[in-house]
Chain A
């Protein structure tokens, strides 16, 4: 199959970028989307041109590195899927495909389709951890956690930190990302010690980094490759209320 690609090219953080047209010939429907870009890049390198920069790592949908907005939807048209798990059979022969980076003030473009997501690291560093001293490796079942709570925490912990939620949100909000971590730790016994300070500090850090707020549209949930629901965001509201008004 043949595709007309419009790919965002930007030389560096400060440069002005633009969409550049590329023709992708002889694309196999069995290729993954990233393989298709690899093939284009091989051609560009052979021609002595600058390869298109994009992030990827595991290519099996679990690392959260790949980050492309394809035809206006982060991670492309498939639900609950990262770009690396998107395949070319999902596209029609002759289709025009626009590829852009995540767009947010807090995620500055490094080059082409690569953005700097260290703002997420700063949010986690602000409170997304458990720092109680537990001594040596504890026995696996020393702290009982009910099946229901374990499942609930795991659903939130499934976040791979890719940032698609921010990319999809009209406000470039990080609320789904941070609420998933806040929710996960708020239901587990290990997370109780820092429960109050965590929610306040993480929200403050996200605000300081220039992410927007939340309009409850749920675009984030719809593009999340791990299908993390916005019920986490409601829980974050409750945790915040508890922290600042109940003071505990």
Chain B
């Protein structure tokens, strides 16, 4: 049906045609396929963050509960596979978003002298305009964060498991570290402020009455998740984990 779809339709060559459509890579190279992949991986990372904040909140229940939780989690044989999956999801999200950012920039080589937001009903916010900045910052953050906690100090608690509670308290004893974490978590909130609901829109979820609720829920989740992490960091700093 689409035969004849080739370079005669100037300018530029088509990235894929009906004949080689079976190639999934080419599908995901298209502007809509890229959105699907970014939305899917973004949603997975969002769901991961929900489990992360839920687990971290156990720190309020004391060192023993927290350390036991951490040990149970990390000693699960499925964890390395899940971690690998998470890394792949994370790298895919970064690769596709950076690639899309570069292509999107190329789509407007001459900038406007004057450009203003169009206003209602646009969803454009400071958060949506700075996704690449918040995203790249979080890449740096995640590297440092994983280094500090996953591959960090190895204290042993009295029960014999790794004393993650102590590592956390010592890490957040430094005001500089707390500041870095708080800034990073505000950027997580900013990223999710647009990203959480945007992921669902990218995947094609849309409904006259549900879309406004999804948009609101995304913002509530952004504040809750970022706020939760900030509270934990500040709490750890202030109390020093008065054990």
Which residues of chain A have a CB within 8 Å of any CB of chain B? Answer: 6, 8, 19, 69, 71-74, 79, 98, 100, 103-106, 122, 125-127, 168, 170-173, 175, 194, 197, 200-201, 203-219, 221-223, 229-231, 233-238, 240-241, 244
- The CA of A199 and the CA of B229, in the complex, are separated in Å by 42
| Minimum C-beta distance from B13 to chain A (A) | 6
Given A125-B9, A127-B2, verify A200-B121 contact (CB < 8 Å).
Answer: no
B residues in contact with A172, CB < 8 Å: 104, 107-108
Asked if residues A170 and B14 are in contact (CB atoms below 8 Å), the reply is no
Complexed CA–CA distance, A158 and B111 (Å): 29
Q: Indicate whether B242 reaches chain A with its CB closer than 8 angstroms.
A: no
Q: Is the CB of A234 within 8 A of B205?
A: yes
Chain A-chain B contacts (Cβ-Cβ < 8 Å), number: 180
**Is A212 within 8 A of B27, CB to CB?**
no
B35 proximal to A (CB < 8 A): yes
Contact A234 B5, beta carbon cutoff 8 Å: no
Tell me, rounded to whole Å, the shortest Cβ–Cβ distance linking B109 to chain A.
5
B47 interface contact, C-beta 8 A = no
What residues of chain B lie closer than 8 Å to A208, measured between beta carbons? 9, 11-15
**How does the 8 Å CB contact mask read for B222-239 relative to A, with 1 for contact and 0 for none?**
000000000000000000
Dominant secondary structure at the B interface = loop
Contacts A211-B31, A222-B118 given; indicate if A205 touches B14 (C-beta within 8 A): yes
In this assembly, does B143 line the interface, its C-beta being within 8 Å of a C-beta of chain A? no
Q: Is the CB of A72 within 8 A of B122?
A: no
Tell whether, in the assembled complex, residue A215 and residue B116 are in contact, meaning their CB atoms are under 8 Å apart.
no
Chain B count of residues within 8 A CB distance of the other chain: 59
Indicate if the CB atoms of B12 and A218 lie closer than 8 Å: no
Q: How far is the CB of B171 from chain A (nearest CB, A)?
A: 35
Are B109 and A219 in contact (CB-based, < 8 A)? no
Q: How far is the CA of A79 from the CA of B2 in the complex (A)?
A: 38
Q: Is B147 an interface residue (CB 8 A)?
A: no
Most buried by A among B24, B118, B205: B118
Cross-chain contact of B11 among A98, A127, A209 (Cβ < 8 A): A209
Q: Which of chain A's residues have a CB closer than 8 A to the CB of B30?
A: 203-204, 207, 240
B27 cross-chain contacts in A, Cβ below 8 A: 244
A91 to B34, CA, bound (A): 41
Please indicate the chain A residues that have their CB under 8 angstroms from the CB of B201 in the complex: 216, 230, 233-234, 237
Q: Check B180 for interface membership: any CB of A closer than 8 A.
A: no
Give Cα A12–Cα B206 distance, bound, in whole angstroms.
Answer: 43
Proximity bits, B172-212, A CB within 8 Å = 1, else 0: 00000000000000000000001001100111111010010
Q: Which residues of B contact A216 (CB under 8 A)?
A: 123, 128, 194, 197-198, 201-202
Name the contact of B131 in the complex, choosing from A126, A215, A233 (C-beta under 8 A): A215
Q: Please measure, in the bound complex, the distance between the C-alpha atom of A104 and the C-alpha atom of B109, giving whole angstroms.
A: 7
CA distance A122 to B109 in the complex (A): 21
Please encode chain B, from 4 to 32, with 1 for each CB lying within 8 Å of some chain A CB and 0 for all others: 01000111111111100100100100111
